[in-house]
A = this chain, B = another copy of it.
């Protein structure tokens, strides 16, 4: 029961797939959310899954909202982009693999050959000038993106990338899609969203994929997004506490797992 509901089927030109799900500092979530809003990307599909938390959220005092991931597309001159954002990642370890697998098969049908995932790297310190660290599935990307402000030594600072941010690239490679992961340095918990780290990641994204984004509203918009993200995190923490009192808890507190990914 991982369902992708297709709202419409855009024809896409050599689309790049950019992932920005919640994670460490929610850098991917806010960076990609900002691009979607600023450039007016269009939603074309939604995903929900039994691997998400078993609750619905309440919006605007009374509206019921099922936890979801959303797919958007953006038409470009040379190539199009598919964006993935959402409320949450999988609750169970197997769910991470299963959902990533479904999503990759789905975007592959639109012709995706290149993937870019975005996460955060918790440094434990306030970063005045956060770096963007890169990891790739193929060496060619290091040359290709060497002038885009990405330091290709993520492996020196962190040994693994947890969840969607890592698995999209690991599993993607198995399915013939190569790609790059951008990790913005951030202090980590208890920061909910980190606009500075999101900004440096956006800087790199703009250079890498020749996107133009007006950054002037970033901080304001990130603060607005933060309310909602904070709410989901709080609810998940509450739900986890509730559930873990009973002996077994679902896997992932975003507060914790945001250490990486």
A96: Cβ under 8 A from any B Cβ? yes
A182 to B: closest C-beta gap in Å: 12
Q: Are B55 and A160 in contact (CB under 8 A)?
A: yes
User: What residue in chain B is nearest A158 (Cβ atoms)?
Assistant: B58
User: A190 at interface (Cβ–Cβ under 8 A)?
Assistant: no
- B54, A96: Cβ atoms closer than 8 Å: yes
> Which residue of B is nearest A96, CB measured?
B54
The distance in angstroms between the C-alpha atoms of A65 and B136, with both chains bound, is 9
A120 to B82, CA, bound (A): 41
Chain B contacts for A5, CB-based, 8 A? 174
* Interface size of A in residues (CB-CB distance below 8 Å): 79
B-chain residues with CB within 8 Å of residue A103 when the two chains form the complex: none
CB < 8 Å neighbour of A246 from B174, B235, B251: B251
Cβ contacts under 8 Å, A142 to chain B: 62
Interface string of A51-68 (1 = CB under 8 A from B): 111111111111111110
| CB-based contact B248/A249 at 8 Å | yes
Residues in A134-158 with C-beta less than 8 Å from chain B: 134-137, 139, 142, 152-156, 158
Query: In the complex, what's the smallest C-beta–C-beta distance from A166 to chain B, in angstroms?
Result: 4
Question: CB distance A174 to B58 under 8 Å?
Answer: no
**Shortest CB distance A87–B (Å):** 11
Among B98, B135, B161, the residue within 8 A (CB) of A55 is B161
Closest to A257 in B: B242
**B interface footprint on A239-253 (CB within 8 Å = 1, 0 otherwise):** 110111111111111
Bound state CA distance, A199 and B70, in angstroms?
A: 40
Residue of B nearest to A60 (CB): B155
What is the distance, in angstroms, from A7's C-beta to the closest C-beta of chain B? 12
Give bound CA distance, A238 to B247, whole Å. 12
Residues A93 and B54 in contact, CB atoms below 8 Å apart = yes
Q: Assess the A57–B134 pair: CB atoms within 8 A.
A: no
The yes or no answer to A92 lying at the interface (CB within 8 A) is: yes
**B156 with A235: CB separation less than 8 A:** no
Q: Contact at B250–A93, with CB atoms within 8 Å?
A: yes
Q: Are A167 and B54 interface neighbours, CB within 8 A?
A: yes
A61 touches B246 (CB 8 A): no
Q: A63-B135, A162-B239, A246-B249 are in contact. List 13 more A-B contacts (CB 8 A).
A: A55-B167, A55-B261, A56-B166, A62-B152, A62-B153, A64-B135, A64-B173, A66-B171, A92-B93, A160-B235, A160-B239, A246-B251, A246-B253
